[in-house]
Structure 1
Amino acid sequence: MDANRYSIPELVADVKRVCAQFDDEREIISKVRPLALRAAKSKDSWVEDRMYGANATQGFGVHLLHEEPDHSVAVLALAWLPNRGAPPHDHGTWAVVAGVQGPEKNEFFERVDDRSRTGHAELKKIGEKVCGEGDVVALPKGLIHSVWNESDSVSLSLHVYGKHVNHTGRSQFDLQKQTEMPFIVKVES
């Protein structure tokens, strides 16, 4: 076995150990960050051509690499079409994203409304970070971000979640209309 290679099954086993050992989300994220980065740097051990495929309507492709039967510890590869992305959204769980190939611009937001009106949401931009090969973005539960591939080619990133995002009741947000709605993505296996 090549000591420099780090497979998805190895990543999953390590993430499961971290989640069993720690309850604090910040501690989990701090331990998962280097694991996700190591897996991203070992892309030759798990990336397949099909993972660069993306749903044209969605603007990105979501490829399931691992999911526990109870939907915890989900690992996904996301391919972002050129000049496309995802609107502001939360995850309903913690997330660690490692850049594999190409840049992805993340913009971060906080809710500034009082949440008293169902379906209404006001967001304020609080920062941004471009995540490329060798970079990691850590997102605690509740943090809202958008993702955009500003390049002319498909970008790819590795996503590790505390729970599969289609099972968390997460939301997407429309900045102009100031609305909140459910966010479910199409996932390829």
Structure 2
Amino acid sequence: MANHNWLITDDGTRRSFGDSDTPEPGRYYRLYRFLTELEDILDIFHDDISRLEAITPLVRKLLVSSYWLQMEYHNPDPAMGWSVNFLYREHEFPITIQMVSWLPERKSSIHNHGTWAIVALVGGQERNRLWRRAPAPNQPDRLELVEEVILNPGDVVALTANAIHSVEPLGDEPTVSFNLYGVTNFSDRYEFDPESHTARRF
């Protein structure tokens, strides 16, 4: 099964980009080298799309060359339905790296991230629902569903800061993903209720 790189923009549009082939394992690519190259990219590119297109190949390289990262997840918490293991976060460096796992039959809220994000699915299968804002006169936070995309291991989804999505594990096994985020602007981070057409910060 072919892997995919999907770019999701603020309006819920999805398009394929870059080389989605999984690279052959080569010279060991350490996390510190990934972070150093990532910092260089952030200095060169200043818009979400350029950054996402430049960083995604490095994420693929890291996951293939540093296999231990794929094992650094916690089993999902039965009460919450998910778990997060922080692999990297540092004061005043605009990067957070997590391994996230979800139990089957649980799903996320509808949300944006307030920053660019790259999610690489490592295990399981998940449905991403893509949304866009469709304000009405009395419903400024109204959303409409744009489409759904199914992610399989090896697929990468790259989201601009105000792209809106929700995540739902499929099948009988937990999902595991490698999640990379830029610096979050919490004043721009929302979760949405499509029934009441409201949004709140989170």
Q: After the TM superposition, which residues 39-188 of structure 1 pair with which residues of structure 2 at under 5 Å, given as runs? A: 39-42=62-65, 44-48=67-71, 51-70=73-92, 72-113=94-135, 121-164=141-184, 167=186, 169-183=188-202
Deviations 1:14-71 (A, max 9, x none): 222211121122110001111122223346222336x132233432111111113126
Residues 1:109 and 1:33: Cα distance change in structure 2 (over 3 Å): same
- Amino acid in the other structure paired with 1:148: E
Check conservation: 2:94, 2:182, Cα contact below 8 A. Answer: yes
- C-alpha distance in 2, partners of 1:41/1:69? 28
Residues 1:14 and 1:3: Cα distance change in structure 2 (over 3 Å): same
Residues 1:115 and 1:16: Cα distance change in structure 2 (over 3 Å): farther
Cross-structure match for 2:6: none
1:22 counterpart = 2:45? yes
- C-alpha distance in 2, partners of 1:3/1:42? 7
Residues 1:30 and 1:116: Cα distance change in structure 2 (over 3 Å): farther
For the aligned residue pairs, the C-alpha RMSD in angstroms reads 2.3
Check conservation: 1:40, 1:134, Cα contact below 8 A. Answer: no
Q: Any unmatched runs of 5+ in structure 2?
A: 1-24
Cross-structure match for 1:187: none
Report the secondary structure of 1:97's partner residue: strand
TM-score (norm 1): 0.83
Match of 2:34 among 7, 11, 14: 11
Check conservation: 2:187, 2:201, Cα contact below 8 A. Answer: no
Deviations 1:110-134 (A, max 9, x none): 01115976xx621111122222211
Check conservation: 1:7, 1:46, Cα contact below 8 A. Answer: no
Work out the number of aligned pairs and report it. Answer: 178
Displacement after TM superposition at 1:171 (Å): 1.0
Q: Any unmatched runs of 5+ in structure 1?
A: 184-189
- C-alpha distance in 1, partners of 2:137/2:34? 37
- Amino acid in the other structure paired with 2:156: V
